[in-house]
Structure 1
Amino acid sequence: MRQRWEIMPIFLFRKISNSAYICSNLKLFMANPKPKRTKLKTTNQRTTRTREHVISDLSVHFVEGFVYRESFTCEVFKGDYGYDLNIYTYTATGEFENGNIFVQLKASDRPKYLKKKSSLSFSMSKKHIEVWFDEPFPVILIIYDAIKLVAYWIYLQKHLRSLPNFSIANVGKSYTVNIPLTNILDNTSMQLFRIYKSNTLNQMQNVITYQ
């Protein structure tokens, strides 16, 4: 017997035979069989990882590479207290050396290069200068260029104390320092920082009385 099909008013297919089979709604056969993807709703309340965060981490990684290649170690400071890294040095046989090297690290996609001078400028807050100026051990300011993948440094106390008539009392809310582009951070720089620290320790002899 020939089977016949008919569309019911309720948009269901019904097969007329000894047994009845109810299929799905007619609309299911007309629609695209692929399921629709719904977009996840995002809110502005979630924490966002910015470009500033990325290049900040990259700058730390960049400096750490030179530290470890010289068999030195370092620790990273999380709080903003004027220091970002603390470098410890060792002898050729791996013995720990006294003292430490403080690092203030800044990362930028567009450091302020000075066209007429072979240097770049960086503005420092007075509250940080007051901390660095009186610190016995070396404080090294490092500026990381995240585009050129290069960093420049300056020994802050040595630079500030070499300026004629420099006085923190005369500094406003900030002070701009020029960093020579010849001061490129590399493995040699790490050994130079070590010498700065060693010189400081030698100068401390017969001065500290531990009272």
Structure 2
Amino acid sequence: MTEHLLIERLDHHYGSAQSLRGVSLALQSGECLALLGRNGAGKTTLLRCLVGLLAPSGGRILLDGEDIRSWPSYRRAQGGIGYVPQGRDIFPGLTTAENLAVSRKAHGIRDSSGTDEVCALFPALRTLWHRRGGDLSGGQQQQLAIGRALVGQPRLLILDEPTEGIQPSIVQAIEAVIAALKTRMTILLVEQYVDFARSLADRIAVLSRGAVVSDNAAADIDPERLRRSLSI
């Protein structure tokens, strides 16, 4: 496998407060890495730096060997990074169909192939086609948010807490979709539930106070010990 995403000694500051401290992580093509940590550990800050919504104060971000720190967020999306933010951030006044169409247009996709694939992964979206995003349940919004990211056919999918506030039946559907996607893209998953992360990830890294404190194969992780460390 080749190195798809390489994060080297990444720092970030909010004013005088340092939120990321020398973060280094590598994802191979087709690998799924789960990033865990307590609230405030810096997980979302790291993801926002990766997709261009925040500017790091030091370090490098390499995508297929190219430093992308100077790329604006739209170029990173067009370069193959799909992002599902915490809180979904769908357009509440647009319908399901319109939300997906916005993503399709942003990526310069003229046909409906990406949308058709999304609806095959999340069949419920077809039944919600003309409903506004703001009228959907949390689980439905999450499916739409993931679908919107997938319309652009990314090679790297970044998901920030996809199970947060979601009913168990839809969590299972999302888990099945992510498992299917692992066969054709690299996935960086920020998650709060250890079992969900272990079921999908090849590796699990833990962030604490803005620094990576562990990075191990998921199969080598003691789940109970990991849960205790995250609850302290």
Common fold: TM-score over 0.5: no
Give the TM-score of the pair, scaled to structure 2. 0.22
Question: Which has the bigger relative contact order, CA under 8 A and spacing at least 6?
Answer: 2
Give the TM-score of the pair, scaled to structure 1. 0.23
